[in-house]
Structure 1
Amino acid sequence: MLAWVDWASHLANSPGKQAELLAFAASLSEQWMAVLKKNPANPDRGATAPDRSPVNDRRFNDPAWDQWPYDLFRSSFVNQTKWWEQATQGVWGVDPKHQRLLAFGAKQWLEMLSPANAAVFNPVVLKRTIAEQGANLARGTSNFLDDLRRQLSGQPPAGTENFVVGRDVAVTEGKVVLRNRLIELIQYTPTTEKVHPEPILIIPAWIMKYYVLDLSPHNSLIRYLVAQGHTVFCISWRNPDAEDRDLGMDEYLEFGLHAALDAVTSVVPGHGVHAAGYCLGGTLLAIGASAMARDGDTRLVSVSLLAAQTDFSEPGELSLFINESQVALLEASMAQTGYLTSDQMSGAFQLLRSYDLIWSRMIDEYLLGDRRAMTDLMAWNADGTRLPAKMHSQYLRRLYLNNDLSAGRYPVTGRPVSVGDIAVPVFCVGTASDHIAPWRSVYKLHLLSSAELTFVLTTGGHNGGIVSEPGRGNRQYQIHTRAAGDGYMAPDEWQATMQTHPDSWWPAWSAWLRERSGDVVAPPLIGAESSGYPTVCDAPGEYVRN
């Protein structure tokens, strides 16, 4: 409402913008009238059928949308979308964040009101209904009732039963060698006779189950690294409950990163560690590595940040959900429960891609009656985690609202840390279609660090761009290493300059790690009593099943 009042009041005092919108509406009206004349009953229609209208919207790709009156419905929707895009931009005096919020809100309303979402206006649905004599709508109703039943009873979506943790996903062999109140640490079984001496420690985000990096055997990043001769350890975060409300970022560093690093260096003594963090796990790693550099701790030999932000000044559309008012509302809610539910988190993420994740699914499953095939990544996405109240509040305020890390204000053990203190080589991955950690935001690490920095831009989104195994179609990436101390290149210039390589970025990362590792040696023991970290249980452990 505040954003709308800001926009409406300034628009009311902007006669130039009003005139511009009126002229634009008039031009769109002419286009709409031209479509209206396509009516076969109209005598002015002419003998020749009009050419297909170019519409850059894949929901209208089917040729059935070219027929009257469906092209009229499509034209009305497209014209409304164009007008609101113009109306919400460039109004003098409107707060930029309010402008973005209003444009986002208008987009959500338009997505909901699309003619594609209504059976009576969607020619594809009508054609299917006639051909099947309504059987598709009967299946769709059954699908809807099944989804509603699952939602009300707290059951996972249909099809997730085909992706059981430890049976179908998260099946890379290994042992849990550490369990504390917050994490289980998994050491994976080597599959090569020799391994690189420096182990890899993976820190996934605590807002998700770790096995996004260990899905099915064919697309498991962890299994791939093990097959390349690396000794791999991975943190599995415990799913918190109300009793964990007071766990904060300090505890996630102490019982998470530092406890795991202590275990890894005890199991593989005498060697440095390649640390890799994904999403907020990468942000946590950047904070921890900065503190280690400040304190003279030299156990890390490299840092890899996968779709992880260190500067939150431009976090993309996710910032629309994060302001002082909304954080205060979340804190009030979490004061009651002690945590943030996974449904609250996933709801925000779904709105960032509402057509792909909400409306197109409803059309397929409820109107066309076709259940979408469940994939391992979709099943993992439905296996959500909760977030402790204190930690969630701290990272929203310190990182998103205040941007303390990039400004050198983030405190660890009472003293601020600086990402600029990290001197070891850094490998950083951004994904081109990321709505959670936009790649230009990830790229801002170039402004914070003068260390050797290898940046990769890969196709795909926040999850799909990282889970991008070799041989997967329609994948490509760009890569460049900036030597320590070299000058800055703007992201758009970087993207326009760097060569594009086909296929997955995984082999490039493996080669980068290999170049910064020593000669291969015999694999370390797993769960050895002598290391102080004996086997607790088999991978994937117990925390991931909670």
Structure 2
Amino acid sequence: MAQPATDPPRSASEPRAVPDGAPADGGPEQAVEAATGLDMVLVDAASGPLRRLIPPAGTVLRFGAALARRPDALARRGGELARELGKVALGRSELAPGKKDKRFADPAWSGNPLLRRTMQAHLATARVAWELIEDADLDWQDDERIRFTATNLVDALAPSNVPVLNPLALKAVIDTGGKNAVEGVRRMVHDLASPPRVPSMVEPDAFTVGEDLAVTPGAVVFRTDVFELVQYRPTTETVRSVPLVIVPPTINKYYITDLAPGRSIVEHYLSGGQQVFMVVWRNPDERHAGWGLDTYGQAVLDALDAVERITGQEQASVQAFCSGGIITAMVLAHLAATGRQDRIRSASFAVTVLDWERAGTLSALMDPEAVQAAIERSRKKGYLDGAQLAEVFAWLRPNDLIWNYWVNNYLQGKPPPNFDILFWNADTTRMSAALHRDFIEVALGNALTDPGRATMLGSPVDLSAVTVDSYVTAGVADHLCPWQACYRTTQLLGGESRFVLSTSGHIASLVNPPGNPKSTFQVAPSTPPDPQEWFRQAETVKGSWWPDYVAWLGERSGEEIPAPRELGGDGLEPLADAPGTYVFDK
């Protein structure tokens, strides 16, 4: 039975309080939420992450001035901290970490008097830091910048990161006779030798693409310099006549949509009777510096042409993920402008932001100087390196993506646990300089919200002219592409939209196979202009959104026809078995 939704999640522009100090640590699923997405290209990855630890001078001055205007708040917070530290020293403090904060889960943090006092002093100081930020009452952009810096500093100074204080490290010394320290140093030296210079989240040989991951049977049926097109072998006797073309992100490899069996989106769609084709982007290098939005938009059109030749169908549905969604939306606008929109039956956009107004922390962190520096550095190199992007991304959630593995890999000398999404996340790709520039310019100017401001293949982009039915998904805990920003896609497009709000964040909201008892999603009968109004109307449905999308897509995929016995057709014959060749480019 579906239950009404409760309080709506915080909008990106609303103030927030952070209780009990630093953000809670999570498991592998939570750890990857900050590890991918288009928004990484909007920060100055080329300058490295350390610059992001220091907010712009103007933000610092405004923060200081705001507190100076409230000396009463400074005095009150100082007094609160002094009193709490006094309680800590006397052993009377009741401060405790959050239930989900695994940094202090070891019983020694509560049982050992010295460790307990150290932990409580850290929590007390961190709490006052968050309260002072609230007291300053800055505008949303300065608020996000200050919080970003404060989060990094608070997480870095946690006593759990100190070898002589962390009980897990001390126990490892006893258990291994000190070998953990030797192994930890070895791992640290290896990680710091080349980008991304952060602790490894997964062993490089944990999985093998084509053997453990990306194993759904199929074949490459079309290839250009920009992409390979994979057609997957049907797994049902009959299939829907209208094929589905998936456009993955241009960052990281495509197989986030085809992880291990049982966790593969492609596999699930095939079991629902869909004909599935996948665009597999090439990993660009300096030779491909000029590949911009038009290049990738033409690639989507080329893929649609190939699918039409193979299937004989004049229409196809498209599903696009993150940055692939931006390209696809612009292509749909181009088709509308040129009178060819009828070749698209339906469209789906997953964790895709088309309206960047107050899109979250990364929008706040952008400044013109950093943007121009990023564009210039990638122009000189010919691409933006995925390893450098991963390094910057790790610092967006250091507690999950850095310090968690600092303790495991270096202090305990243990290998990180194997997790398929983290392996995929480490399999980074480059972004061509022109695409990097084009994405930044579109986002910085919020160009897709203003008809005609952006172009695709010579056509003015007007998303309101895209009138096909759309299925839009977002993650309730996605801080890279906040769900409210994803929701605004329903208002930009001109057709009927169904918006689905999944559990978890940027990646776990996508890799959400049926069978997880904790999975839910929220839907509402309409998509009003205000996302909070939508949320108040929404009902929570148990399970994954995958079957919901298959049912929605099936209603728009034509009649059932016999499944093709052979892959390819009309002169486009299989060139290689899936997952193809481009996925192995390093």
TM-score, L = length of structure 1? 0.90
Unpaired runs of at least 5, structure 1: 39-44
User: Within the alignment, does 1:362 sit opposite 2:401 as a pair?
Assistant: no
Question: What does residue 73 of structure 1 align with?
Answer: 118
Query: What residue in structure 1 maps to residue 548 of structure 2?
Result: 508
SS for the counterpart of 2:240 is coil
Check 1:229–1:6 CA distance in 2 against 1; reply closer, same or farther (3 A cut).
Answer: closer
Residue in structure 2 matched with residue 21 of structure 1 by the alignment = 74
Choose between structure 1 and 2 for higher RCO, CA contacts under 8 A separated by at least 6 residues: 2
Could you say which residue in structure 2 is the equivalent of 1:42? none
**Alpha-carbon spacing, 1:542–1:14, altered in 2? closer, same or farther (3 Å):** closer
- Provide the secondary structure at the position in 1 that maps to 2:521: strand
SS at match of 1:436: coil
Q: What residue in structure 2 maps to residue 540 of structure 1?
A: 579
Q: Is the counterpart of residue 34 in structure 1 residue 87 in structure 2? A: yes
Equivalent residue letter for 2:391: G
Q: 1:478 aligns with which of 491, 509, 522?
A: 522
1:73 Cα deviation from its structure 2 partner: 1.5
CA distance in 2, matches of 1:503, 1:279: 22
- Partners of 2:470 and 2:420 lie apart in 1 by 30
CA contact (8 A) 1:11 1:17 kept: no
1:3 has 2:56 as partner:
yes
Counterpart code for 2:127: K
State which of 480, 494, 502 in structure 2 corresponds to 1:458: 502
SS at match of 2:83: helix
From 395, 416, 422, the counterpart of 2:466: 422
Distance 1:156 1:69 in 2: 31
Equivalent-residue separation in structure 2 for 1:126 and 1:156 (angstroms): 22
CA deviation after TM superposition for structure 1 residue 60, in Å: 2.2
> For the residues of structure 1 that align with 2:252 and 2:551, how far apart are their CA atoms?
28
Which one is further off, 407-416 or 355-364? 407-416
Name the larger-Rg structure. 1
**1: CA distance between counterparts of 2:567 and 2:389?**
36
The correspondence for 2:355, drawn from 291, 311, 315, is 311
The reply to whether residue 189 of structure 1 matches residue 233 of structure 2 is yes
Which residue of structure 1 aligns with residue 372 of structure 2?
328
Identify if the C-alpha distance between structure 1 residues 164 and 154 changes in structure 2 by more than 3 Å, giving closer, same or farther: farther
After superposition, give the CA deviation of every residue in 1:156-203 in whole Å (9 maximum; x if it has no partner): 976332321212211111111111110100111111110011100000
In the alignment, structure 1 residue 261 sits paired with structure 2 residue 304: yes
Cα separation, 1, equivalents of 2:56 and 2:135: 14
How many Å separate the matches in 1 of 2:228 and 2:203? Answer: 28
Change (3 A) 1:13 1:87: closer
**Match for 1:333: what amino acid?**
R
Do the aligned residues in 2 keep the contact of 1:138 with 1:369 (CA within 8 Å)? Answer: yes
Deviates more, 1:244-253 or 1:267-276: 267-276
How far residue 19 of structure 1 moved from its aligned partner, in angstroms, is: 2.0
- What secondary structure is seen at the aligned counterpart in 2 of 1:275? strand
Structure 2 distance, partners of 1:469, 1:154, is 30
In the alignment, what sits opposite 1:443? 487
Q: 1:9 to 1:500 in 2, by over 3 A?
A: closer
Separation (CA, whole Å) in 2 of partners of 1:154 and 1:338: 24
- The corresponding residue for 1:490 is 530
The answer to whether the 8 A contact 1:14-1:91 is kept is yes
Is the Cα contact below 8 Å between 2:88 and 2:121 reproduced in 1?
no
Report the Cα offset of residue 133 of structure 1.
4.2
Q: After TM superposition, give the deviation of residue 313 of structure 1 in Å.
A: 1.2
Asked if the contact 1:426/1:451 (under 8 Å) is kept, the reply is yes
Structure-2 separation of matches of 1:452 and 1:545 = 39
Please give the alpha-carbon distance, in whole angstroms, between the structure 1 residues aligned to 2:122 and 2:494: 49
Measure how far apart 1:235 and its partner are: 0.2
Q: CA deviation at 1:26?
A: 0.7
Which amino acid is the alignment partner of residue 394 of structure 1?
D
Distance 1:321 1:538, change over 3 A: farther
TM-score, length basis structure 2: 0.84
Alignment of 1:46-85 (within 5 A): 53=96, 55=98, 57-66=101-110, 67-85=112-130
Q: Is the 2:196–2:388 Cα contact (8 Å) retained in structure 1?
A: no
Confirm or deny: 8 A CA contact 1:7 1:91 kept in the other structure: no
Paired position in structure 2 for 1:172: 216
Q: Name the stretch that deviates more: 78-87 or 489-498.
A: 489-498
3-state SS of paired residue (1:508): helix
Say if 2:193 is the partner of 1:143: no
For the residues of structure 2 that align with 1:437 and 1:390, how far apart are their CA atoms? 22
Tell me, which stretches of 5 or more residues in structure 2 are unaligned? Answer: 1-53
- Give the whole-Å Cα distance in 2 for the aligned partners of 1:536 and 1:377: 28
Give the superposition deviation at 1:131.
5.0
1:93-492 aligned within 5 A: 96-130=140-174, 132-148=176-192, 159-254=203-298, 256-297=299-340, 298-398=342-442, 400-408=443-451, 409-482=453-526, 488=528, 490-492=530-532
